[in-house]
Amino acid sequence: MDSVYDRAISEVGQDGTFQIQFDIFYNIILAGLWSMTFNNIVLALTITPHMCKIPKKLSNESEHSWKLKYIPTVEDAAGNNKFSDCLVYSNRGNNITEECNIYDYDRTWFETTVPSDNDWVCENEIYVANIFAYSKIGETVGSLFFGWFGDVYGRKPTYVISLAMLIIGRFLSVLASSSFIIFAIGCVIAALPSWCVTQSASIVSLEISSPKRRANIAKLRLVATSFGLCLMPLLYWWLRSWKVFVVITTATQLPYLFWSWNFIESPQWLWVNGQFKKCVQVLKLIAKVNKTTLGATTENDILTSDLSTTNNAEVLGPLALFSGWRLAVNTILQLLLWIAVSVNYTVVLLSSAEKSLANPFLDFAWQSLAEIPGYFVASWLADRIGRRFTGVISTALTTLLWVVYAYRDIYNIGWLKNPWLGTALVIIIRFVITMSYYIINLFNMELYPTCLRQSGMSLGNVVSGGAGAVAPYILYLGRRFDARYPSVILIVTTLFGGVLTSYLLPETLNVKLPETLEDAQKFGRRDRSHYMTVNLKDETIESNIAVSLNRI
């Protein structure tokens, strides 16, 4: 055993009933419910079709002819003629137009949304983009703060505070929805803890589980999160009112907040930080559920541990990620890939309901469901053709699909405008983007040494949040100026940030991974031969095979 803690967790059980119950309660049920609460604002801020309110048609005149008397026709962002969303004739004889005083919203699918309740359309449409951007900036700041907070003060307080902030923020937005400032503040409060609720639970699960279980914990959480995203629009479709929808999805978190006293602190964190009595208490709780015992000798060894020996790991700051040319290049390439993946994913997520030409709720659900096989396919490919080529394939496909989507937005071709084709395109885009997301997470875990892995993940989350803040403005450009702008931006971003970066990053499949900072500074260096350890069917074969890697 490496330490007395390793011996202790082995004695109380790492694959027992306690771990199974914890995963079901937190990494499956909580993750699914939390994803609805965290993302419910995406659907609530949907901008529905609208135009100026005009007198009710009384004669047998056609709807089109009646609208022509009151509503001017304009060229939309795609270059097509349509009735104006924002203008009405003030004097029909002189063709003088003015901004709408009262809007009429299409309530076919959405009975109410935040923009329709507050008229955040036309000139005020920027409010929606600003709220999404402020939320993403909040996620960025929260990733920095709560990543540090969780390591210093523990997983449990991070979990409780993050959960409370999410609930308070959402309820504040509902109660003060008529005020843009207070509504935005509520969204930022909810976004600040970012993914810390589910991440804290996953970290505890990782730290009480055996190595063979750890590989599936993150995948379990991601799949449950995607399943929650799939159920969320169906709930909105049933409830129809955004306030009722947000209140109900947020209320699902209240039992977890009230029950948070039962959420355990990670015994490994307690031991590392010298809280030995509490560590023993948690270990005994795990042993009781698993019907095992913590040995008296092991318990005594924990209680009498030397604090200096429990905290002897190498401590490095985020700047160490840029120490040495090769490590700095690997870090920068990963950050570029984070930007490409985050911008793509956020744009698709935010536009899921708005761009639908059919049922927006079913479209959103199908797109979310596509993430689940995306994770499994990416995992299968990454273990067979490698991380790099899986990343290249997924980002190249994303680029190609955005090209097709651009043609669909620009050219008025009948079969391209088919609603089913539009739904299929976005579902496939969501599928391949999910593959890219899985690959960048793998790179983060495998390219950084143990002493920098958490810092690397945190930096990736920060850059991801910052990149996501740009996404709502990309959609705003497409809606208000030119429909081609989003597709062009996404094609360029994906091509250079995704395809090229994935190709230039070192391959990590079956390669001995860096363990120290010195290893990481050399890993992937051009024209260097590395000895590698090949793992084949659970047998470790030590091979002196000099592998010349394609590197920068």
Domain membership flag for residue 13: no
Percent of the chain scoring above 90 in pLDDT: 28
CA 304 to mean position of chain CA atoms:
42
Report which of residues 69 and 163 the model is more confident about: 163
Of 229-238, 300-309, 413-422, 503-512, least confident by mean pLDDT is 413-422
Per-residue pLDDT tens digits for 439-477: 887 787 677 765 566 567 777 777 887 888 888 888 888
Q: Is residue 544 pLDDT above 70, yes or no? A: no
Q: For position 34, what pLDDT does the model report? A: 96
Domain membership flag for residue 114: yes
Residue 409 sits in a domain whose CATH number is 1.20.1250.20
Which neighbouring-strand residues pair with 539?
A: 536
Domain membership flag for residue 495: yes
Domain membership flag for residue 286: no
3-state secondary structure 184-231: HHHHHHHHCCCCHHHHHHHHHHHHCCCHHHHHHHHHHHHHHHHHHHHH
Angle formed at CA 395 by CA 392 and CA 397, multiple of 5 degrees: 105
Q: For position 113, what pLDDT does the model report? A: 95
Pairing of strands 81-83, 50-52: unpaired
Contact 422, 355 (CB under 8 A): yes
Q: Are residues 159 and 30 in the same domain?
A: yes
Q: Which domain holds residue 64?
A: 50-105
Q: Are residues 428 and 491 in the same domain?
A: yes
**Number of structural domains, the chain?**
3
Per-residue pLDDT tens digits for 1-52: 457 888 999 999 988 999 999 999 999 999 999 999 999 998 999 988 888 9
Which neighbouring-strand residues pair with 543?
A: 532
Q: Are residues 63 and 130 in the same domain?
A: no
Domain membership flag for residue 388: yes
Q: For position 43, what pLDDT does the model report? A: 92
Spatial distance between the Cα atoms of 525 and 330, rounded to a whole number of angstroms: 10
Q: Are residues 390 and 538 in the same domain?
A: yes
> In the listed set 263, 294, 324, which residue is the last one of a domain according to the structure?
263
Domain membership flag for residue 180: yes
Band of pLDDT at residue 417, cut at 50, 70 and 90: low
Q: Are residues 501 and 547 in the same domain?
A: yes
Domain membership flag for residue 90: yes
* Residues contacting residue 262 through CB under 8 Å, at least 6 positions apart: none
Q: Are residues 350 and 242 in the same domain?
A: no
Contact 15, 306 (CB under 8 A): no
Q: Are residues 446 and 535 in the same domain?
A: yes
Q: Are residues 116 and 100 in the same domain?
A: no
Spell out the long-range contacts of 300-307 with Cβ–Cβ below 8 A and sequence spacing 24 or more: 301/4, 301/7, 302/4, 302/5, 302/8, 302/271, 302/276, 303/276, 303/277, 305/4, 305/271, 305/274, 305/276, 307/274
Contact 232, 35 (CB under 8 A): yes
> In the listed set 246, 263, 280, which residue is the last one of a domain according to the structure?
263
Band of pLDDT at residue 541, cut at 50, 70 and 90: very low
Q: What is the mean pLDDT of residues 258-267?
A: 92
Domain membership flag for residue 3: no
Band of pLDDT at residue 304, cut at 50, 70 and 90: confident
What is the average pLDDT value for the chain, to the nearest integer? 81
Q: Burial of 241 by CB count in 10 Å (0-12 exposed, 13-18 middle, 19+ buried)?
A: middle
Whether the pTM exceeds 0.85: the reply is no
Contact 361, 234 (CB under 8 A): yes
Spatial distance between the Cα atoms of 257 and 239, rounded to a whole number of angstroms: 25
**Most confident residue range from 74-88, 172-186, 218-232, 513-527:** 172-186
Q: For position 148, what pLDDT does the model report? A: 74
Q: Are residues 69 and 137 in the same domain?
A: no
Q: For position 527, what pLDDT does the model report? A: 36
Q: Are residues 361 and 498 in the same domain?
A: yes
Q: Are residues 443 and 470 in the same domain?
A: yes
Q: Is residue 313 pLDDT above 80, yes or no? A: no
Report which of residues 65 and 237 the model is more confident about: 237
Q: Are residues 139 and 211 in the same domain?
A: yes
Per-residue pLDDT tens digits for 314-360: 445 567 778 778 888 888 888 888 888 888 888 888 776 665 556 88
Spatial distance between the Cα atoms of 261 and 252, rounded to a whole number of angstroms: 17
What are the tokens at 90? 């003030």
- Angle, helices 360-369 vs 419-447, to 10°: value is 30
Q: For position 335, what pLDDT does the model report? A: 87
